[in-house]
Structure 1
């Protein structure tokens, strides 16, 4: 029989393995660790019987507890729909004035509208609704087609320059490119429009050009923008006197707009969103434009 070697300090048996003069002790697994492993294995085996666990061809073991995530999710969806049904019905049917006067319902509009806006509108108008280059700012209470909830709802429903049979149609002609105005007339009318929001531009050096541009504006642009240049929501013609610009209000940008024209596009949401969702978005966007900072 081989003689068992024991460590002189601890008195424990060694395994016989030695590395660089260091001998390995034959130390048993701690009892606590062993018990933990036993309990976890027993729990795993029990869990196999209690909940769905093992695939069996086209099915699986159902478990003794009857847990079914499909049914759980379906039940929660039904609960959510039932909770939404009451206020969604109100949003779909009640007059806008009534909804706007109900602060509790408007809180729901802001919560749900924020999500709808983020999912459908933020790609162009930004998460905060402040727009960006070539996309309108929806928070400044300055509207191309009118900012009442009814008008916003219609814009959402039919879109702008879309294939919808009732679409809003808006286009700024390319006065320079299509030779309706010559180069000098384009520069003159751009100078006049620029002066409307930059009074300091009306200097003695520029006044003749501005006056000439005013004449071009009256004969060419006033039909859409009005003689006072304050726009026309019926045509989607912007107000040129308030310093709110979609494409930019610098002199160069205005010249580019007059020369090359502009034609925006907004998709129709008529078949993408429900009537209640469209009305929720209309209220949310209206609220963005009128909410006090």
Structure 2
């Protein structure tokens, strides 16, 4: 919490924090109090984020269900839930069929959220983008149908860009600029530019496109990610033997999340670093990362791991 003010604003936040297992000091021993635990973090993330920030929230199915209300309350909008399927080998030989009272668990969940973006109207009320777009057009006094002519489309403006139903579609920046130009030329005269993001400057396509979280689609990739738990050389082990961290995430999953939600040079936050797998993946992909870890033993091991992933001149570790 004390570092968020010092980090650059994030494009992606990868949260792999407590699951409610009581594994480290301060972690709840059950998922029941996770919403309370995550609430100040969710609020801080939202405070320091941009409209285009994506949050990937890792947890168990129950842990996420308990945490979701806190995330939603503090400015995060649910987009989709991704299931990590670790495969049958994860539990093979470890299940007693005479005593188990359910199906064996081989999954974790990574839920994608985006920052809830709002813009003010003339009265200073913050409106969701869907409502704000329609408000801006309506204050011109022009018929809604003219928005189609403004955008050079048959009916997409009224059917998608300005509708308030489930068919609403985030308009491309060029469409917003075109609507602003049309309203300025044909609508009521106003001191506040139409569709102005800051209330002062005319909108630009680039500025408007920055109001939506980044997303790079990959064909044939579904919301079930089949990947075995980390083994072999990628697994960080203790010098005396044994795994260093019980829940080390595969780099392939971290890379998939970062690639989907950011571009090279963007900033990745890893608030609960552990062995800092997200930061290692960020380094490999040409992103800048900021991470924190309260467990000194994990922090020191992660620092060594990061030194192997980054040139020393680019690594700054503060204990």
TM-score normalised by the shorter chain: which range applies?
under 0.3
TM-score scaled by structure 2? 0.23
TM-score scaled by structure 1? 0.24
Q: Considering Cα pairs closer than 8 Å and 6+ residues apart, tell me whether 1 or 2 has the greater RCO.
A: 1
Bigger radius of gyration among the two: 1
